């Protein structure tokens, strides 16, 4: 179920805010994989090879007669996995804290239900062809497990090696919402939702358009706010301080005093960050205007991701540098130290 519907599960957790979280801050990456633990992996491998699972003694004794031996936990040892088995349940850990869990739960339950239907149909066909019921179930179960083994991963989901390995396995690594939401209008989505009477095709497309619109508006609002902050709170005090330094250097020269080298270096550094912050913000505003000219929601969302959102970090870099250089008395916004500690 997870193997065939991984892109749908990824789409169900997609949002502008979750794009920041996935792959960082103790959150799983955008690659959907499953962690089932060493014990269950051993059981599945034994089943596929018609052998017996190793009976490893996982008991731990603390050598106190009055306290019984403790069974070591052999399941949840991987906090980087987006979909992990924890002893008696699976956890989908990629959902953002602000998200409504109904959407990913609908996608996950629909994927499981669809897989059970397909499994039952395959077993019934085998029985109709004369295969024993038990043999038909075992045969189909092995086939399903073998086809889905590429989704299983026990290692570090943050590693670059896993990203390369996932690509070799044919697993998607969709890092942004604009691309992820396309899964809702895919053939697999129709097979999972429409054929089983969960959503109509029109309802899937409606959800796709609504989620795209929500994503676009969030990035649009962030872009507008960032532009306003740069134009009205970042650049004015930086220019004011730059002017003050220039006047100071001029006054020193007019008085016949030597020096001013430090001020000149500071002036050049501040001027560079002012120019870059202004230029990159202007480019971001223009990119937003161009993106809005598109008529297709999907193209607008992709344009916002590639040309608008991608510029946010560059603009922030120069704003942060100016925050460190401009006189504290002139700086109007709270500084990081003021946000983290009492002033």
Nearest-angstrom CA–CA distance, 276 and 130: 74
Nearest-angstrom CA–CA distance, 200 and 13: 20
The Cβ-side half-sphere exposure at 241, using a 13 Å CA radius, reads 26
Q: Torsion over CA of 193, 199, 205 and 209, rounded to 10 degrees?
A: -110
Nearest-angstrom CA–CA distance, 109 and 101: 12
- pLDDT per residue rounded down to tens, the chain (343 residues): 899 999 999 999 999 998 888 877 667 889 999 998 888 888 888 888 888 766 665 666 667 777 776 666 665 566 788 998 887 888 898 898 888 899 999 999 999 999 999 999 999 999 999 999 999 999 999 999 999 999 999 888 888 899 999 999 999 999 999 999 999 999 999 999 999 999 999 999 999 999 999 999 999 999 999 999 999 999 999 999 999 999 988 888 887 777 678 889 999 999 999 999 999 999 999 999 999 999 999 999 999 999 999 999 999 999 999 999 999 999 999 988 888 876 5
SS (H, E, C) the chain: CCCCCHHHHHHHCCCHHHHHHCCCCCCCCCCCCEECHHHHHHHHHHHHCCCCCCCCCCEECCCCCCCCCEECCCCCCCCCCCEEECCCCEEECCCCCCCCCHHHHHHHHHHHHHHHHHHHHHHHHHHHCCCCHHHHHHHHHHHHHHHCHHHECCCCCCCHHHHHHHHHHCCCCCCCHHHHHHHHHCHHHHHHHHCCCCCCHHHHHHHHHHHHHHHHHHHHHHHHHHHHHHHHHHHHHHHHHHHHHHHHHHHHHHCCCCCCHHHHHHHHHHHHHHHHHHHHHHHHHHHHHHHHCCCCHHHHHHHHHHHHHHHHHHHHHHHHHHHHHCCCCCCCCCCHHHHHCCC
Contact 333, 229 (CB under 8 A): yes
**In sequence order, which residues have a C-beta less than 8 Å from that of residue 221 and are 6 or more positions away?**
none
Domain 216-340 adopts which CATH fold? 1.20.120
Going by C-alpha positions, the residue among 183, 182, 168, 281 that lies closest to residue 231 is 281
Contact 35, 19 (CB under 8 A): no
For position 268, what pLDDT does the model report? Answer: 95
**In sequence order, which residues have a C-beta less than 8 Å from that of residue 189 and are 6 or more positions away?**
8, 183, 204
For position 55, what pLDDT does the model report? Answer: 62
| In the chain, domain spans | 6-36+75-176, 216-340
């Amino acid at each position: 179920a997870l193997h065939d519907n991984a892109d749908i599960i990824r789409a169900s957790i997609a949002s502008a805010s979750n794009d920041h979280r996935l792959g960082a801050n103790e959150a799983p990456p955008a690659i959907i994989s499953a962690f089932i633990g060493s014990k269950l992996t051993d059981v599945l491998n034994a089943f596929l090879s018609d052998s017996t699972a190793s009976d490893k003694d996982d008991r731990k004794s603390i050598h106190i007669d009055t306290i019984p031996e403790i069974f070591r936990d052999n399941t949840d040892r991987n906090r980087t996995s987006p979909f992990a088995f924890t002893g008696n349940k699976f956890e989908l850990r990629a959902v953002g804290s602000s998200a409504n869990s109904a959407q990913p739960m609908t996608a996950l339950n629909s994927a499981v239900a669809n897989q059970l239907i397909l499994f039952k149909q395959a077993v019934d066909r085998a029985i109709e062809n004369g295969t024993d019921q038990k043999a038909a179930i075992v045969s189909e179960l092995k086939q399903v497990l073998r086809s889905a083994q590429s989704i299983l991963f026990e290692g570090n989901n943050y590693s670059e090696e896993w990203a390369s390995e996932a690509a070799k396995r044919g697993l998607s690594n969709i890092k942004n919402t604009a691309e992820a939401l396309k899964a809702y209008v895919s053939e697999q989505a129709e097979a999972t939702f429409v054929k089983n009477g969960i959503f109509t095709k029109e309802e899937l497309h409606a959800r796709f358009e609504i989620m795209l619109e929500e994503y676009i508006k969030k990035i649009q609002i962030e872009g507008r706010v960032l532009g306003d902050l740069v134009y009205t709170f970042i650049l004015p005090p930086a220019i004011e301080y730059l002017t003050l330094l220039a006047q100071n250097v001029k006054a020193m020269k007019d008085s016949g005093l030597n020096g001013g080298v430090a001020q000149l270096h500071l002036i050049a550094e501040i001027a560079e960050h002012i120019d870059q912050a202004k230029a990159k913000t202007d480019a971001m505003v223009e990119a937003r205007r161009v993106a809005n000219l598109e008529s297709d929601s999907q193209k607008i969302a992709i344009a916002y991701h590639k040309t608008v959102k991608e510029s946010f970090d560059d603009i922030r870099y120069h704003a942060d540098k100016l925050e460190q250089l401009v006189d504290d008395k002139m700086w109007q916004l709270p500084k990081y130290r003021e946000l983290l500690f009492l002033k």
